[in-house]
Amino acid sequence: MSALRYALSFRWANALSEAAGYVSAFALAAATVVMLHGVASRYFFGMATVWQTEVSIYLLLVVTFWGAAYGLKHHAHVGVDVLTDRLPARGQLVARILTSLLSLVVIAVVAWKGTVLWYEAYEGGFKSPTAFRAPLSVVYAILPIGMLLVALQYVFFIVEAASALAGRVPVDEALAEIKQHDPLADTVVPDTGPGPGTRPGPAGDDRQVSR
């Protein structure tokens, strides 16, 4: 029963988004390394950089489309919330459900068409039109998987907001979890903060460290 309740609460979508974020961060590091390898082999050994360019672009797709779910969980996707912020707490929850549904429309279209694109590449065994000849069935899978992760995160938002409206979850708690953009979360980088979105400490600490 509790396993079913957990499944229905969609809390596991949070864990998926978090994992997707770590994969994306790793992809970003990998892209940096691959590009450095490309630069080095071109300038020092005079070799062509066929696979480096292509692979780093595919890693960029992972950073963007899989990172999108992580960004959604951490409220990185900027939105204009000056109007909705004026609503009372329950109104904000309703607004959040509506905008999540609207976003899901776009995500569904892209995920669906992306799956069709992937399926065609998979059926036809398409390769990228370069010397590297990357299998497009792998490359085209990045987009629909990313959209699926984003969709799951949105479903969690909707379930959470609906439970709060039904009185099963405290309203403030749900709001804190699903609230739209926090302008600080993605801009302030603490020196040795414990995690993403950490606010800067009293800046005095900063000064004592290295004087």
Partner 1 sequence: MDSPLATGGVIGLMALVLFMTGMPIAFALGLTAVASTVLFLDPAQLDIFAKLVFDSLNDFALLAIPLFILMGNIFGGSTASKHLFEAGEAWLSRIRGGLGMSSVVAAALFAGLTGSSPATAAAIGRVAVPEMRARGVSARIATGAVAAGGTLGILIPPSITLILYRIAAEQSIGQLFAGGVVPGILVTVLFCVWIFIATTLEDRRRRSVTGERALVTSGVGSEHGSGGATSAGASTGGDAYAAPTYTWGDRVRALLKVLPFLSIIGAILFALYAGVATPSEAAAVGVLVVLVLIAIVYRGITWRGLGHSLLDATNQSTMILMITTFSAVIGTVLAFLSVPQELALMVTELQINKWLVLLVINLVLLVLGMFLPPVGIIVMVTPVLFPLITALGFDPIWFGVLMTVNMEIGLITPPVGLNLFVLKGIAPDISLKDIVLGTLPYVGVLSFSIFLMAVFPGIVTWLPNLMF
Residues 75-134 that bind partner 1 (CB under 8 A): 76-85, 95, 98-100, 102-103, 105-107, 109-110, 113-114, 116-117
48 binds partner 1 (CB under 8 A): no
Nearer to partner 1, 3 or 82 (CB): 82
Q: Under a CB-based contact definition with an 8 Å cutoff, are residues 24 and 59 in contact?
A: no
31 binds partner 1 (CB under 8 A): yes
Nearer to partner 1, 7 or 188 (CB): 188
Residues in 133-162 at the binding interface with partner 1, rule: CB under 8 A? 140, 143-144
Cβ 147 to partner 1 shortest distance, Å: 9
- Looking at residue 143, its amino acid is L
Q: Which stretch binds partner 1 (CB under 8 A): 8-16, 18-26, 161-169, 170-178?
A: 18-26
With H, G, I as helix, E, B as strand and everything else as coil, classify residue 189: coil
The residues that bridge with 127 in the sheet, in sequence order, are 135
Which residues have C-beta within 8 Å of that of residue 166, sequence separation ≥ 6? none
Q: Which stretch binds partner 1 (CB under 8 A): 2-10, 64-72, 156-164, 167-175?
A: 64-72
Could you tell me the two tokens for 85? 């912020």
CA–CA separation, 96 and 84 (whole Å): 9
CA–CA separation, 100 and 98 (whole Å): 5
Residues in 179-208 at the binding interface with partner 1, rule: CB under 8 A? 180-181, 183-193, 195-196, 199-200, 202-204, 206-207
Cβ 60 to partner 1 shortest distance, Å: 5
Q: Which of 7, 8, 15, 39 binds partner 1 (CB under 8 A)?
A: 39
Nearer to partner 1, 7 or 89 (CB): 89
- Looking at residue 52, its amino acid is Q
Q: Under a CB-based contact definition with an 8 Å cutoff, are residues 167 and 84 in contact?
A: no
CA–CA separation, 54 and 138 (whole Å): 13
Nearer to partner 1, 77 or 168 (CB): 77
- Looking at residue 89, its amino acid is A
